Structure 1
Amino acid sequence: MLIKIEKKFNKFMDFIGNILIVMLLLMILNVFYDVVMRYAFHDSSIAMQELEWHFFSIIILFGTSYSLKENAHVRVDFLYDKFSTKTQAIINIVGTIFFLLPFTLLIIYGSYTFFMDSYSIGETSGDPGGLKYLWAIKAMIPISFILLFIEGIVYIIQNINIYRELEKPKKVDPQGALS
């Protein structure tokens, strides 16, 4: 049953990863457009500049969950790699329970208030010509950390399965390719 839960959520996270790819391409096009307009036509749009950091924020916020799913997150590998697979699974479970999950709950709690304050006043960009609905980008903070919390639970399940030798761990080589 745990493997089924993990596989279903992994499919969802792959969908999120595909959305992030599209957002990255949109961000690249946005930056290209902004640079061409600024330097070739001496014209610039504040809204397009703000859209750049909105895209960037979403990519980073939701990319953390995807990197955890792909086992590409940061850790002290020179120590971790010397341990057995079962010890690594225990470290992952304990680290997720005592560090990742409480951290995500703290951010969810704090950012929800941040978002609600922005939403209640109908916050918009302070710059003339900037984007409206600034609260929408602020909503991405608690949403992305809720997703990270759920991915943390899935990561625990995955490591329980690895500990029980029901599946093999994902390994990432130094260049970032999964093996």
Structure 2
Amino acid sequence: MAVAQESTASVSDVATFWVRVFSWSMIAVLAVFLASNYLVTTRDWPSIANIFLQESAGSLAWIQLAAYLAGFAAAAIYVLSSRAQTLRADSALISDANIFLIRAFFWAVLLIGLIDMMVSFLRVEGLLVGVVGEEMTKKLGRPQFRGTYLHMPLIGAGLVIAAFTRTLGFIWLTLLIVVAELAIVITRFVFSYEQAFMGDLVRFWYGALFLFASAYTLLEEGHVRVDVFYTNFTAKKKGLVNVFGSILLGLTFSWTIILIGMGSKSAMINMPIAKFEVSQSGYGLYVKYLLAAFLAVFAITMAIQFVSYFLAAVADYRGEPGKRQPAAAPTH
């Protein structure tokens, strides 16, 4: 009897090890992919695909391949060095890090929207020269300058603010969207005044609200399920369904967006960001390239959250204690 129990415990430990290695490897691969994408897109490094497509790929492509292998090794080393950590602890750690990223992006979007709107308003009314001077006004009219020296510092500010706050900001952003819409209605129909940046601001914040909130909604079990069968499943069966759903549907969906949108310099996400693409209206917000980045943020945060969800689902299947309860009742 004791031998059987020891054998079962050993199998469970091995399964836990490989589940954790797989999960942390997904995080490591995602991090290496994003770093590699930055180097290929902005620093003209050769793609890792050159190793398989060309006879002479160059050392930089091999460095990227080595980075992926190092990511797998780092994941395995971390798991080996934290054997006592449970699947639920890993799930919570990954989820908390992801929530921090989402919180930072929300603050960044809030700041960029407000500051860029002020700059656009002053430009269109001819008041910006009196505030920052003629030379800076010309520079702020160039997308690359505004993106690099105005938007990027604000993204950094979002990261700093996120480190000192705990709320995600969904409610505040929703309220500001309503205020922005109301301002458009009042200025258009009462004062006969409307500018392109006003509509751009609403679209910018709307996009962030729905795409950034998706991962948090997954955490709180808020996504709609077609649960004709799922509702009547036992906790173990629900865990099993969520295990396969996280991999076959969730991670597959997220990685499809990432690979198609960021697979090359000319991909639909990479190209607008690299060129700081803006709308044709010269006096609108200079944030069109960030709308493309929203898709990347959506896919990345969803991939990370699905890894966390996968770990929690395996723990549910195995009947481990400490299941996290959603903050609100799930939407079905």
Q: TM range, normalised to the smaller chain? A: 0.7 to 0.9
SS at match of 1:9: helix
Per-residue CA distance 1:98-136 (angstroms, 9 max, x = gap):
111111101112223212211333311112422214212
Matches within 5 A, 1:98-137: 98-112=248-262, 113-137=267-291
- Amino acid aligned to 2:296: P
Per the normalisation by structure 1, the TM-score is 0.86
1:144 aligns with 2:298: yes
SS at match of 1:114: coil
Aligned residues: 176
Aligned twin of 1:45? 195
Question: Contact 1:71–1:170 at 8 Å: present in 2 too?
Answer: no
* Structure 1 residues not aligned, in runs of 5+: none
SS at match of 1:127: coil
Pair member with larger Rg: 2
Aligned twin of 2:216? 66
* Structure 2 residues not aligned, in runs of 5+: 1-84, 104-166
- Amino acid aligned to 2:288: L
- Amino acid aligned to 1:68: L
Distance 1:20 1:45 in 2: 26
SS at match of 1:18: coil
- Amino acid aligned to 1:119: I
Question: Contact 1:13–1:69 at 8 Å: present in 2 too?
Answer: no
Cα 1:130–1:67, aligned 2, differ >3 Å: closer, same or farther?
A: same
Question: Contact 1:90–1:159 at 8 Å: present in 2 too?
Answer: yes
Aligned twin of 1:4? 89
Question: Contact 2:200–2:285 at 8 Å: present in 1 too?
Answer: yes
Equivalent in 9, 23, 36 of residue 173 of structure 2: 23
Following TM superposition, by how much is the alpha carbon of 1:55 offset from its aligned partner in structure 2, in angstroms? 0.7
Per the normalisation by structure 2, the TM-score is 0.49
Aligned twin of 2:29? none
Per-residue CA distance 1:38-62 (angstroms, 9 max, x = gap):
1221111211101111111111111
Distance 1:110 1:135 in 2: 17
Aligned twin of 1:81? 231
Question: Contact 1:115–1:138 at 8 Å: present in 2 too?
Answer: yes
Question: Contact 1:46–1:127 at 8 Å: present in 2 too?
Answer: yes
Question: Contact 2:88–2:323 at 8 Å: present in 1 too?
Answer: no
Question: Contact 2:197–2:284 at 8 Å: present in 1 too?
Answer: yes
Distance 2:287 2:99 in 1: 28
Per-residue CA distance 1:138-168 (angstroms, 9 max, x = gap):
1121122111000000001111121222233
- Amino acid aligned to 1:29: V
Q: Percent identity?
A: 24
- Amino acid aligned to 1:152: F
Distance 2:94 2:168 in 1: 14
Cα 1:9–1:20, aligned 2, differ >3 Å: closer, same or farther?
A: farther
Distance 2:324 2:93 in 1: 18
Distance 2:170 2:97 in 1: 13
Following TM superposition, by how much is the alpha carbon of 1:173 offset from its aligned partner in structure 2, in angstroms? 4.4
The worse-fitting range, judged by mean Cα deviation, of 80-89 and 160-169 is 160-169
Distance 1:168 1:134 in 2: 41
- Amino acid aligned to 2:223: H
Question: Contact 1:123–1:135 at 8 Å: present in 2 too?
Answer: yes
The worse-fitting range, judged by mean Cα deviation, of 119-128 and 29-38 is 119-128
Equivalent in 5, 28, 32 of residue 182 of structure 2: 32
Following TM superposition, by how much is the alpha carbon of 1:69 offset from its aligned partner in structure 2, in angstroms? 0.4
SS at match of 2:285: coil
Question: Contact 1:50–1:130 at 8 Å: present in 2 too?
Answer: yes
